[in-house]
Structure 1
Amino acid sequence: MDITFTTAGALIGLALSIFLIIKKIQPAYSLIIGALIGGLIGSGDLVGTVEVMITGAQGMMSSVIRILTSGILAGALIKTGAAEKIAEVIVAKLGEKRTIVSIAIATMVICMVGVFIDIAVITVAPIALAIGNKVHYNKGAILLAMIGGGKAGNIISPNPNTIAVSEGFHVNLTSLMAVNIVPAIGALIMTVILATILSKRSSGLEIHYPAGEENKSLPSLWAAIAGPVVVILLLALRPLFNIVIDPLIALPLGGLVSTIACGEIKKFPHYMEFGLTKVIGVSVLLIGTGTIAGIIKASALQGDVVSLLEMMHLPSFILAPIAGIVMGAATASTTAGATIASQTFSGVLLKEGIPAIFAGAMVHTGATVLDSLPHGSFFHATGGSVDMNIKNRMRLIPYEALIGLTSTILSIIWYLIFR
């Protein structure tokens, strides 16, 4: 059934979804309700609206399946202690004099090898707080270093957001990760600058670090990196030798190798189950995201936005980062924001002659600018990792936005140079 919804209906549906999320209604349900209401207001009948919603959700299935299997790698890295070991070694090697740099790089690497950004922050937090306590840094600086490092690693990782963008633009996952390396480095540098500035301020957020599990047994560094190395090598086979190993295969294999290398193969089923608990939420969210993306994609919004850009004499490629920024802010989620933006505007961007790899990269980086607003889970998960109240957590949002904006601007410059 060929249906075109009005722009007003699509926008009202999206606005309703945001309102419901802010009111603490479960995000997936909020998106489904917004899609339904938006479709009906946008001149669709009940049967047609539901069909478009289902079609949109079906378009998410390849991403959802890959994300579900990525949980095996994440579960293995977390439960074996591999992620913590990698972070510990990085912080130890760089030393207390480079506390901010070491914390940012540690979180970046943990996120980069396949641990979701909120889990990466939670994993690094005990180590970061311990060293921050020794050098008398405040929680704001420590948390910003972790978040900024996580943002840098997130845009070059085989995480749900990257998988969703690669699916939306039909580009190779490894290539999408590679094209954002320079933007990721820029985000890391900006993180270090801003967190260093914050560390010199007296904010009343001094760290009182409780005694932890200092004698916790962790694997060796070589065992810890075995799984991530296998994943990187398998994903690199396609651009290097045109041998296609799908993330659906590479990510679980990395988790299996990690478990074997750490000598905990008997616990692998338990780690798989744990990993599933970490990805089931984002997988369900993507199904809800697909319903609203279906309505927006079937609306006149795409054409209206292009017409608006032409009226303002703005280049068409600017739609990519703007879409990422707006949708990331709307959903307070890198994954949901990047997914909606990719599903909605990929066709228009490609039609305008923007290479898919650069369009995807700009959408992806744009989604990291305002993805940590208070109506999303990332805001609360990261604040809770350092026991920071909402008021103080909100003070970091402008700094986080600057970090995301840095990677977005560099992604645009990268496109302008190599288009």
Structure 2
Amino acid sequence: MTQIPIYWWGAVLGLIIAIVLILKKVNPVYSLFGGSIIGAVIGGASLNQTVTFIIEGTNSVMPAVVRVLTAGILAGVLIESGAAEKIAETIVDKLGEKKALMAIALATLIITAVGVFVTVAIIIVAPIALSVAKRAGISKTAVLLTMVGGGKAGNIISPNPNTIAIAKGFNLELTQVMIAGFIPALVGLIVTCIVGKLLSKKGVEIKDSDLMSKSESDVKEKPTFLKAMVAPIVAIVLLGINPVGNILNIEFLKKISIDSMIILPLAGLIGLLAMGKAKHVIKYTTSGLNRMSGTAILLIGAGSIAGVISKSDLSLVIVNIIKLSGVSGTLLAPISGILMAAATGSTSTGAILATGSFGKAILAMGIAPISAAVMVHTGSVVIDHLPHGNFFLVSAQSVKMNISDRMKLIPYESIVGGSMCIAATIIYGFLIK
């Protein structure tokens, strides 16, 4: 008779311990490892079994970790060369003050969608957004909400760590997950603009001291818009070859299957050459690696707790509860993403935890991998902005907003994230299974 190595309450206790440690400002990686060890042992596993389960869990996220690290080349090139900033500036300038909120949301969406971390995208767009919003008489509250909403929408269609982790977790191509998230992202963008408009005259006013001086903003020599777009365009074209071949049934294109581990760094290097900044290759790529390394290590920590949860009967217990309650099993996918991202205050960590812990149970309910992936993914952006996460603090600092005012924005951010999750659940959970 097969015995479950870890009881579900041990796995849950381990996750709770990890969350408490994170809230106590203990390093998130060590919090996750600590929760994994305590939860496994309390749940009935021996020390040797505990080590084995944690190693198996961390091994399961290694493909995602490798791809995240290589994606750092593209991110480093876009950020350090000034390309990302140039893209944002151009979008905001072209749409103008009358469409300032749409411009801010779209700029943040695009910067995030081409592979820049959502937190970094907000930092890049913030000075431009505040300057335009100040002239248009728009509040700081509306500006931050619009950037966050645009970033969330861009995050579910980007080659960012969370998308990579979701794709590998459900054995899908990265492009499949990115394309499938397009409609929910569009819904998120529209809702962002509506909510932003409602908040445009409410909340915190933008002061002159919030704006970056001209000398500060002009320090970096930026490329032209066309040169700045080379790397993103190359990445999008190469990532889209195989999906386009499958959609149009073109055999030649269907046979071309290049992994994102090759495409993203290659696009970054081609963009570097196009901007005439090849001499900075070491500086830019090192910066990109440094930016990604923290997230890569965090994914390993998430893999450890996911390994422990996957060896417990927690997923079976939750499935039974859902069946007894009469609620559709389809909802397990978005709910798992929502809860895990909320618990860790991170889209990436929440995505990998939900996938590793509940992926098999979700698929066992007859949900197609791509549908499961999109629902988990959009679920992970609903309340990933809670105060114990890095995103909360960084986004507040980007516009010089105090914690009290930043807290007031949480419900509105959840409306944006929730709209994407609801759209994905309706489309992929009930219309397409």
TM-score strictly above 0.5: yes
User: 2:177 matched to 1:157?
Assistant: no
User: For the residues of structure 1 that align with 2:184 and 2:419, how far apart are their CA atoms?
Assistant: 7
Counterpart of 1:417 in structure 2: which amino acid?
A: L
Q: 1:167-178 maps to which residues of 2 (within 5 A)?
A: 167-178=168-179
Query: The residue matched to 1:18 in structure 2 has which SS?
Result: helix
Query: The residue matched to 2:229 in structure 1 has which SS?
Result: helix
Q: Which residue of 2 aligns with 1:221?
A: 225
User: 2:246 matched to 1:233?
Assistant: no
- 1:348-397 superposed Cα distances (whole Å, 9 cap, x missing partner): 11121100001000000000011011111111111111111111111111
Query: The residue matched to 2:222 in structure 1 has which SS?
Result: coil
Q: What's the TM-score, normalizing by structure 2?
A: 0.95
Aligned length: 419
User: For the residues of structure 1 that align with 2:92 and 2:66, how far apart are their CA atoms?
Assistant: 34
User: 2:421 matched to 1:418?
Assistant: no
> Which segment drifts farther, 107-116 or 132-141?
132-141
User: 2:224 matched to 1:211?
Assistant: no
User: For the residues of structure 2 that align with 1:306 and 1:113, how far apart are their CA atoms?
Assistant: 36
Q: Which residue of 1 aligns with 2:355?
A: 342
Does the Cα contact within 8 Å between 1:138 and 1:207 map onto a contact in 2? no
User: For the residues of structure 2 that align with 1:58 and 1:202, how far apart are their CA atoms?
Assistant: 46
1:202 is displaced (CA, Å) by 4.8
Which of 280, 286, 299 does residue 312 from structure 2 map onto?
A: 299
1:214 is displaced (CA, Å) by 4.7
Q: Which residue of 1 aligns with 2:248?
A: none
User: For the residues of structure 2 that align with 1:165 and 1:92, how far apart are their CA atoms?
Assistant: 35
Name the % identity: 46
1:2 is displaced (CA, Å) by 7.9
User: 2:324 matched to 1:324?
Assistant: no
1:221 is displaced (CA, Å) by 1.2
User: For the residues of structure 1 that align with 2:178 and 2:365, how far apart are their CA atoms?
Assistant: 23
Q: Which residue of 1 aligns with 2:21?
A: 20
Q: Which residue of 1 aligns with 2:189?
A: 188
User: 2:326 matched to 1:310?
Assistant: no
Counterpart of 1:233 in structure 2: which amino acid?
A: V
* Structure 2 residue runs without a partner (length 5+): 246-252
Counterpart of 1:217 in structure 2: which amino acid?
A: E
Q: Which residue of 1 aligns with 2:55?
A: 54
* Structure 1 residue runs without a partner (length 5+): none
Does the Cα contact within 8 Å between 2:137 and 2:201 map onto a contact in 1? no
1:204 is displaced (CA, Å) by 4.8
User: For the residues of structure 1 that align with 2:207 and 2:359, how far apart are their CA atoms?
Assistant: 45
Which of 401, 404, 409 does residue 391 from structure 1 map onto?
A: 404
Does the Cα contact within 8 Å between 1:3 and 1:48 map onto a contact in 2? no
* Cα gap change, 1:260 to 1:214, in 2 (>3 Å): same
Which of 382, 387, 393 does residue 369 from structure 1 map onto?
A: 382
* Cα gap change, 1:34 to 1:229, in 2 (>3 Å): same
Q: 1:9-158 maps to which residues of 2 (within 5 A)?
A: 9-158=10-159
Does the Cα contact within 8 Å between 1:14 and 1:35 map onto a contact in 2? yes
Query: The residue matched to 2:52 in structure 1 has which SS?
Result: helix
* Cα gap change, 1:335 to 1:202, in 2 (>3 Å): closer
1:205 is displaced (CA, Å) by 5.4
- 1:222-263 superposed Cα distances (whole Å, 9 cap, x missing partner): 111100111111111221222111010001011101111111
1:220 is displaced (CA, Å) by 1.0
User: For the residues of structure 2 that align with 1:4 and 1:305, how far apart are their CA atoms?
Assistant: 17
Query: The residue matched to 1:343 in structure 2 has which SS?
Result: helix
Does the Cα contact within 8 Å between 1:139 and 1:207 map onto a contact in 2? no
User: For the residues of structure 1 that align with 2:207 and 2:416, how far apart are their CA atoms?
Assistant: 23
Does the Cα contact within 8 Å between 2:130 and 2:206 map onto a contact in 1? no
Does the Cα contact within 8 Å between 1:156 and 1:180 map onto a contact in 2? yes
User: For the residues of structure 1 that align with 2:126 and 2:136, how far apart are their CA atoms?
Assistant: 15
- 1:32-66 superposed Cα distances (whole Å, 9 cap, x missing partner): 00000000111111110111011100111100000
User: For the residues of structure 2 that align with 1:275 and 1:80, how far apart are their CA atoms?
Assistant: 11
Does the Cα contact within 8 Å between 1:190 and 1:403 map onto a contact in 2? yes
- 1:4-31 superposed Cα distances (whole Å, 9 cap, x missing partner): 2111101100000000000000000000
Q: 1:255-266 maps to which residues of 2 (within 5 A)?
A: 255-266=268-279
User: For the residues of structure 2 that align with 1:67 and 1:286, how far apart are their CA atoms?
Assistant: 10
User: For the residues of structure 1 that align with 2:202 and 2:64, how far apart are their CA atoms?
Assistant: 43
- Kindly report structure 1 stretches of 4+ aligned residues shifted beyond 6 Å: none
Query: The residue matched to 2:202 in structure 1 has which SS?
Result: coil
1:203 is displaced (CA, Å) by 3.5
1:217 is displaced (CA, Å) by 2.7
Q: What's the TM-score, normalizing by structure 1?
A: 0.98
Q: Which residue of 1 aligns with 2:250?
A: none
User: For the residues of structure 1 that align with 2:203 and 2:322, how far apart are their CA atoms?
Assistant: 44
Counterpart of 1:254 in structure 2: which amino acid?
A: A
* Cα gap change, 1:202 to 1:384, in 2 (>3 Å): closer
Does the Cα contact within 8 Å between 1:332 and 1:374 map onto a contact in 2? yes
User: 2:366 matched to 1:353?
Assistant: yes
Q: Which residue of 2 aligns with 1:403?
A: 416
Does the Cα contact within 8 Å between 1:111 and 1:157 map onto a contact in 2? yes
User: For the residues of structure 2 that align with 1:126 and 1:71, how far apart are their CA atoms?
Assistant: 24
Counterpart of 1:129 in structure 2: which amino acid?
A: L
The alignment yields a C-alpha RMSD, in angstroms, of 1.3
Query: The residue matched to 1:370 in structure 2 has which SS?
Result: coil
Query: The residue matched to 1:170 in structure 2 has which SS?
Result: coil
1:201 is displaced (CA, Å) by 1.6
User: For the residues of structure 1 that align with 2:419 and 2:263, how far apart are their CA atoms?
Assistant: 31
User: For the residues of structure 1 that align with 2:292 and 2:349, how far apart are their CA atoms?
Assistant: 13
* Cα gap change, 1:214 to 1:67, in 2 (>3 Å): closer
